[in-house]
Amino acid sequence: MKKISFTEDDRERRTHAFHEEVKFMQGLSHPHLVPCFLAAQCLDYFAIVMPYYPAGDLVELIGKQEPSRVIRYMSHVAHAIEYLHRHDVAHIDVKLENVFVCESDCAHLGDLGMAMEVTHSSRTILAAHMGGTMEYWPPEKVNADEHTRIDPFKCDIYAIGVMYWILVSGQQPEKNVDYLAKAYASTDLNLFHTNWFTLEHLLQPNPAKRPTASQVITLLQSDQEYTSVAEVSKEVK
């Protein structure tokens, strides 16, 4: 259960956020999105009842998984993001803490508390109106001023890249860092060339050069096929 406490000072803001999150959770349904079983407003908190994920979130798996398993988790997240984007919803807070692993070893993206519906033709919003977690912000958000408009869908894509990088590198997320430069500077990563190709696209500093969610799915599918074969070959040797 997700419990959201509030005080009289922030009751109105929290109430709006709660109703928005529940609206998205109950209005959207996908195998890799965390569902909402029940939502209720109590005396001094809101409650959202969700499934229990015994394996916890992806933070617990940093640096502990083979690339093929990391790619599978990222593929699950990419499918969830593609579904959201297809329905004009940007998640805004894609991060390891918001991805949960079920008993079937599948990843599920949760916490739509910052999600936004963006339906106008420009598909951009003021950067100042977009929340999220600083360690997962793309360069255009980090460097934005109060008048800068950015594409929140491309921000979701960058955040997938950050998760991918953290899981394969074993490093902790950082604020105001060029993850692509860190990847290039790393000399001890056990990655195949397809993994590098995908990372380079996800972590592109220029949002226009980042893939769409559907393209990310295709990239990760190629990664999975190549990596699985390569890992089997290593075991045989």
> Coil, helix or strand for 12?
helix
Answer yes or no: are the C-beta atoms of 212 and 154 closer than 8 Å.
Answer: no
Closest by CA to 131, choosing from 165, 110, 156, 166, is 156
* Residue 67: per-residue pLDDT: 84
* Residue 82: per-residue pLDDT: 99
pTM score, two decimals?
0.91
Q: Rounded to the nearest 10 degrees, what angle do helices 193-202 and 152-169 cross at?
A: 140
Q: How many angstroms separate the CA atoms of 233 and 11, rounded?
A: 57
Closest by CA to 66, choosing from 237, 217, 234, is 234
Answer yes or no: are the C-beta atoms of 107 and 99 closer than 8 Å.
Answer: yes
* Residue 86: per-residue pLDDT: 97
Q: What is the DSSP string of 100-153?
A: EE-TTS-EEE---TT-EE--STT--EEGGG----GGG--HHHHT--TT-EE-HH
Domains assigned to the chain: 2-49 (no CATH), 58-236 (1.10.510.10)
* Tens-binned pLDDT, residue by residue, of the chain (237 aa): 788 888 877 888 888 889 889 999 999 999 999 999 999 988 889 999 999 999 999 998 898 788 889 999 999 999 999 999 999 999 999 999 999 999 999 999 999 999 999 988 889 999 999 999 999 999 999 999 999 999 999 999 999 999 999 998 898 999 999 999 988 888 777 677 778 899 999 999 999 999 999 999 999 999 888 776 656 555 555
DSSP state of 65: S
Find the helix or strand (DSSP H, E) in which 48 lies. strand 45-49
Answer yes or no: are the C-beta atoms of 124 and 151 closer than 8 Å.
Answer: yes
